[in-house]
Amino acid sequence: MHAYYGTDARLYQLLAGALLGSALRGRTDSQRRPAAAALATLVALPCLLVLGSGLLSLSPSVRGIAATGASVLLIGGLVGNDRTPIARLLSRPVPVFLGRVSYGTYLWHWPVILVLETVLVVDAPVVAVAAAVLSTALAALSYEVLELPIRRSAGLSRFTWQTAVVGLAASVLVAVTVVPLTLAAQRRPVLAAAAAGTMAPRAVVATSGRSARLPDDVDWEAVGDDVGAQRWCPPEEVAGCLVRRGSGPHVLVVGDSQAQMLAGMFTAMAEDHDLTLSFNILAGCMWQEALLNTEASIDSQERCTKARVGWYERALPRLDPDVVVLVGRPRDDVRTWTGVVQRRDGRDQPLAQAMLEATRETLATIDALGPRSLLVERMVMPETFDPADCLATTGKAADCAVPVPTDVAPSDGYYLTAAAESPRVFTANLNPAFCPGAPVCSPVVDGEVV
C-alpha cells in the first residue's frame, strides 16, 4: 500500500523523467540514432499498455518500476525519432493536448472517483469511464484558468532564479520545522474526522450507561500499534501455530485482519481458562479455503495460499483442536468485492454464490476432520473512517460513534443457515461486548479506546 500511496515511494519516477529530460536536452543531431529510437518506441509502447492493463500479476513496486522504465524508453524513442507512425499519431492535436493536461488529470482523477462512488450506485467500468471524462474536463479547465495565467504572468516572468531560491528555502524550512513536529505529534492527523463520525446522534451515545469519555492520557502511538498478532504455520510444522498450551480444550482461531484484531482477546481468554490456543491468522486472507482476495499483494496472496489450500486437511489432524473459530471481514458488497474475491479454481460465479459455496465447503472439511466450528458474525466497524484517527483529531467520542447496522449481512445469513443445518456449527455475535450502547457504538467504553 505504501508503494502505491506514499509520495516518497514515487519520487524515483519524477527523478527518472528529470534525468531523461537533461540527457535529451544535451544531445545534438549527430548523436541521434533514429533506428534505435524507432525500435525503442515499438518495444516500449506495448510494454506500457500491458503493464497498465492489469494482465500481469505484479506487486505495486514492481509494476511502478517497470512502468517507469517503459515510459522512459518510450519518451526517449519518440524524441529520438519523430517520423515513426506512433510519433506522428501522438503528435496530433488531441494527444498533444491530453499530454499537456495529463498531470492535472492525474491530480483530479482520485477525488472524482471518490465522489462518483459516493453519489452513484454503478459498476466499476461506468465509474472508470465517467472518471476519465470528468477528470480530463476538470484538468483542461484548471489548465486554462489556473496554470496558463501563472505561466504567462508578466509580473512573475521577471523573477527567475529568485523564485527557485525562495521555493528551495521554503521546502527546507518546512522539512526541518513542520515535518519533524508532525511526525512526533501524539495527535494523529486525519482528513475525515468529525464529518465522518457524525452518523451517530450524541443523545443516543450518552444513554448507553457506560462511560464514553475520552481519557486525557491516551497513548495514540500505542493505540495505532495495537493491531494484534499475525501467526500461521505450514501444515508440516504446526508447532508454529501454537500460542500457549493449557489443560483445557484446544481452540484454533483462523481468519484475516479481524481475527488479528481479536488475537489479544483470545489470548487473554486462554490464559484465564487455561486453554490451549493456536492461531492461523493472516491479514487479508479469508478463512474459506476456496476463495482468494486479489486485493492483497502478490506476496500476501502466496502466503495465504500456503496457509489455506490443503491446510485444514493436513494441519487439523496434527493440531487436533476441539473448536475452530472462524473470523473474517464480511466481503458481501457486490460493488466493492466483485472481481476482487475470486475462486481459486477459476470458476466464474456471482459473489454471493461463491461466498456461500466456499463457506459450506470449508465447514464440511472441518466437520469431517472432527472439530466443531464457531463462526463469528459481522462486527460493527466503520468502513469510511478510522475511529482512532477520529478520536485523536476531535477528542470527542460522540463525534466518532457509529450506528449498529439494521440489516443482516449476507455472510451472517450463510453462517446462521449453516448453524441451523448442523449441530456441530455455531455462531457468535461479539457486538454486545464491544458495543454496550447499541444501537449506537462508541469508540470509547469505560474510558478505554475499543
- For residue 165, being part of any structural domain is answered with no
- pLDDT-flagged residues of the chain (< 50): 1, 186-211
As given in the structure block, the three cell numbers for residue 211 are: 462511560
Gyration radius of the chain's alpha carbons: 27
- Give the model confidence (pLDDT) of 342-395 as tens digits: 999 999 999 999 999 999 999 999 999 999 999 999 988 766 666 677 776 666
Q: Which residues contact 314 (CB under 8 A, 6 or more apart)?
A: 235, 236
Residue 206 is predicted with a pLDDT of 41
- For residue 260, being part of any structural domain is answered with yes
Q: Which residue range(s) make up the domain with 123?
A: 102-151
- For residue 25, being part of any structural domain is answered with yes
My answer on whether 109 and 11 are in the same domain is no
- For residue 217, being part of any structural domain is answered with no
Residue 383 is predicted with a pLDDT of 64
My answer on whether 287 and 409 are in the same domain is yes
Residue 244 has phi, psi (to 5 degrees) of -155, 155
- For residue 209, being part of any structural domain is answered with no
Residue 197 is predicted with a pLDDT of 39
Residue 31 is predicted with a pLDDT of 67
Domain end point (choices 39, 60, 91): 91
- For residue 199, being part of any structural domain is answered with no
Do 323 and 371 meet the contact criterion of CB atoms below 8 Å apart? yes
My answer on whether 301 and 395 are in the same domain is yes
- For residue 180, being part of any structural domain is answered with no
Question: CA nearest 194: which of 385, 442, 440, 3?
Answer: 385
Question: CA nearest 447: which of 251, 216, 222, 229?
Answer: 216
Do 432 and 397 meet the contact criterion of CB atoms below 8 Å apart? no
Residue 385 is predicted with a pLDDT of 62
Looking at the structure of the chain, the number of domains it has is 3
My answer on whether 237 and 379 are in the same domain is yes
